[in-house]
Amino acid sequence: MGNTRDDFNSATKELLANRVGRRCSNPACRKLTCGANSNPEKVTNIGVAAHICAAAQGGPRYDASMTPEERKSFENGIWLCQSCSKLIDTDITRYPKELLQSWKQLAEQTAILEVETTSATPAFEKDKELVQFYLECFDRPAFQDDIYQEGRMEDFDKAIEDTLIALNTGVLRTRDGSILKQADGKSSIQNSLWREKLYTIADMLTAIRRRLKIAKKEKAYSTYGTGEDVAYCFYDRELAEWFNSTREEILKILSSICKEAGLRELHFRKRRYRW
């Protein structure tokens, strides 16, 4: 016995390739994997039917609990270009089974959307461009600082409002109210899961603004210092923690979209100090 390989048969390979439009399934790559060879009878193919869990013992992501049939099944394969198929095997911590499965699912959805859409620009590229715009809108202190150090609460609230408007309408305003950049609102996102996540983020932003309004009315915090050096003390520590954890969760959801889109991710900064 020893080292047998559970390779895909050619029908499975064809199925893997065709279900993603013969493009690499890595969302950051999306390279077309075949084209005309100078020999009129040949096709140049740089696509690989890669194993999600390795075909043989000792390989990347090998799962001993799988049967040989499962190992060579369509479910265990992903269509990639040659360089991405090497990439996923060099670092199994960075490219775990779950990530590859989500790549595959996304690539399949994208392929059928491209078939359905009449537009010249593929749906995925349009979505990615919009997500990139939203990402810029979230890259600001209001999504980085501990609530105790947010500066003026009015400015914080304004920043959250501006971000919400950008997400809803695609218009990003500057502090003085002039329009900085115009894109489309979140309803234009074609990927249904991404759109659902962006709606969730919008709900959370609205909740932050509402909760802040109540906190102000109920004088739930006191202010120390003046101008830029203002700091806040919340009498209700759990409430202060909620403002932090909610923003952290928002960035987590946003990052999960960015990861699939092959964009950089934003993270809520570590607390600088606590009282």
Output 55 or 81, the one with its CB closest to Zn ion.
81
Output 146 or 260, the one with its CB closest to Zn ion.
260
Tell me if 100 contacts Zn ion by CB under 5 A. no
Which run of H or E residues covers position 233?
strand 231-234
Q: What share of the chain is helix, strand, coil (3-state, %, to 5)?
A: 50, 10, 35
Among 20, 81, 159, 160, the residue binding Zn ion under the rule CB under 5 A is 81
* Binding letters toward Zn ion, positions 29-68, x by CB under 5 A: x-x-------------------------------------
Min dist CB 107 to Zn ion, Å, is 10
Footprint on residues 140-199 left by Zn ion (CB under 5 A): none
Min dist CB 23 to Zn ion, Å, is 8
Taking the C-alpha atoms of residue 249 and residue 258, their distance in angstroms, rounded to an integer, is 14
Within 57-197, strands assigned E span 77-81, 171-173, 179-182
* Binding letters toward Zn ion, positions 8-27, x by CB under 5 A: ----------------x-x-
CB-based contact 138:254 (threshold 8 Å): yes
Q: How far from 36 is each of 22, 65, 197, CA to CA, in Å?
A: 14, 41, 40
Tell me if 87 contacts Zn ion by CB under 5 A. no
Output 49 or 81, the one with its CB closest to Zn ion.
81
Taking the C-alpha atoms of residue 211 and residue 242, their distance in angstroms, rounded to an integer, is 10
Interaction site with Zn ion (CB under 5 A): 24, 26, 29, 31, 81, 84
